[in-house]
Amino acid sequence: MKKTAIAPSNIAFIKYWGKRDEDLRIPSNDSVSMNLSDATTTTTVEFVQSLKKDEIELADGAFNKNEIARIVSHLDRIRGLANSADRARVVTKNSFPKGTGIASSASGFAALTVAAAGAAGLSLSEKELTILARLGSGSACRSIPDGFVQWSTGETSNESYAWSLFPSDYWDIRDIVVIVHDKAKKISSTEGMRYITTSPYWEQRQHEVGQRIVKIKDALTQKDFSQFGGIAEEDCLSMHAVMMTQSPALVYWNSATMNILQSIIRWREQGLPVYYTLDAGPNVHVLCEGKDEGRLQDEIFGLSAVQSVILNTPAPGAQVHEDHLF
């Protein structure tokens, strides 16, 4: 059977940085995110009995050896569940150009999970799909449910899953991804997370993060944008403080990043409700309400540090798609 799925990337407002169990990718703390409408991956999977090995292709680019190995082991997991030995043909395509610094592992493993599970004839619940996606790439589990999503830590694999807090049409907010640097990062999140406990601020972050989960859910419920943006910034700075004080230190920001953060602070002082968050990279996710998007875009395009932008609204989670890539 051939199946295709489309899945969004997501941006975390309360971040996942650190694992309780590395093999099972169980995070140290809960996280809260939003799916991104304009950063998606589409993947078609077909299991074919006559194939000798998995054939994996990235349209408009190429996977490296490690990426292929990670995809094959995810296919192995799905073959295990379906009791099948058939190899797969996989074609995958990102909506955002490779090399924009946008992590494709969340959208990629979410799309692969839904397409491959369907192609293998498995019928899994949304919760089961999030657990399976998590084993491929942690943050991919948050790209399965609709809109605004929480992912829980847990003692066991079955306890660490993701669910929708609010649907994608719940709140008209924007994430404008401002791209200032387009090279792949030197140290992956998986690698970086291995050294979290070398940071003296790691334990402090663990004490605070539970409270921030409560507060951000409260801000979402109230649709209180300034509370929401303030907590997202706080958590982003907390995660980057841990990263910067790990050994070896991970400093993802560059001068263009700082230029944009300082501009955001200035615009806010001038009365524009705008906030920021960043993942493991220098590109800035600029958060605003839909009504302020036009004004903010004018300001952003006025900055010389900006290479390009991706404008996102809240989006549904991974879905089966009728048009195949092959």
Residues that bind ligand PMV (CB under 6 A): 12, 15-17, 31, 103, 105, 137-139, 189-190, 279-280
- Is the Cβ of residue 245 or residue 297 nearer to ligand PMV in the bound state? 245
Residue 63 CB partners (closer than 8 Å, separation 6+): 56, 71
Residue 16 CB neighbours (<10 A): 25
Per-residue b/e over 70-83, b at no fewer than 16 CB within 10 Å? bbeebbeebbeebe
Q: In angstroms, what is the minimal distance from the CB of 49 to ligand PMV?
A: 33
- Shortest spacing between CB 15 and ligand PMV, in angstroms: 4
Cβ at position 22, least distance to ligand PMV in Å: 11
Identity of the residue, 4 or 139, whose beta carbon is nearer to ligand PMV in the bound complex: 139
Nearer to ligand PMV, 46 or 164 (CB): 164
| Shorter beta-carbon distance to ligand PMV: residue 99 or 290 | 99
Least Cα distance to 100 among 21, 42, 188, 183 occurs for: 183
Least distance between ligand PMV and beta carbon 281 (Å): 8
One DSSP character per residue, 30-83 reads: -EEEEEEEEEEEEEEEEEETT-SS-EEEETTS---HHHHHHHHHHHHHHHHHHT
Q: 118 or 138, CB closer to ligand PMV?
A: 138
**Nearest-10 crossing angle of helices 105-119, 65-82:** 30
Burial of 249 (0-12, 13-18, 19+ CB in 10 A): exposed
190 vs 227 by CB, closer to ligand PMV? 190
Radius of gyration of the chain from Cα atoms? 19
Provide the minimum distance between the beta carbon of 285 and ligand PMV in the complex, in angstroms, as a whole number: 10
In whole angstroms, what is the distance from residue 265 CA to residue 298 CA?
Answer: 16
Q: Which is nearer to ligand PMV, 46 or 279 (CB)?
A: 279
Shortest spacing between CB 190 and ligand PMV, in angstroms: 5
34 or 117: whose CB is closer to ligand PMV?
Answer: 34
Of 14 and 120, the one with the shorter C-beta distance to ligand PMV is 14
Q: Is 249 helix (H, G, I), strand (E, B) or coil?
A: coil
- CB 43, CB 5: distance < 8 Å: yes
* Shortest Å distance, C-beta 28 to ligand PMV: 11
Smallest distance, Å, CB 176 to ligand PMV? 17
CA distance 226 to 197: 32
Shortest CB 302 distance to ligand PMV, Å: 28
| Nearest CA-CA partner of 284 in 101, 27, 98, 142 | 101
Identify the H or E element spanning 176: strand 173-179
- What residue ranges in 180-307 does DSSP mark as E strands? 274-277, 284-289
